[in-house]
């Protein structure tokens, strides 16, 4: 299982998500997008946009798939 979450995600709070992923051991991986919320949106002052997160997320997913095949 792959979990991708923004580190500002209030719907999937990392304080709760991390222990779940850890309990799943090698069956699960958690990757976070720094500065992003649940929708992978950033604070305006960060200078990043939701579209900026997409290549980062795609790279995480591609690397995870590569490990499976």
8 closest CA partner among 34, 44, 46: 34
Q: So what's the pLDDT on residue 58? A: 97
Closest to 31 in 3D by CA, of 60, 59, 10:
60
Q: What is the pLDDT of residue 2?
A: 97
Q: So what's the pLDDT on residue 20?
A: 96
For residue 37, the model assigns a pLDDT of: 96
| Residue ranges of domains in the chain | 2-68
Determine if the pTM surpasses 0.85.
Answer: yes
* pLDDT score of 66: 96
Rounded alpha-carbon distances, angstroms, from residue 65 to 37, 60, 69: 24, 9, 7
pLDDT digits (tens, 9 = 90+) for 6-58: 999 999 999 999 999 999 999 999 999 999 999 999 999 999 999 999 999 99
């Amino acid at each position: 299982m792959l979990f991708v979450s923004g580190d500002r995600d209030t719907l999937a709070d990392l304080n709760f998500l991390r222990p779940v992923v850890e309990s799943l051991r090698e069956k699960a991986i958690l990757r976070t997008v720094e500065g992003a919320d649940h929708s992978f949106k950033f604070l305006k002052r960060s200078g990043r946009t939701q579209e900026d997160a997409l290549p980062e997320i795609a790279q995480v997913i591609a690397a995870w798939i590569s490990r499976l095949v």
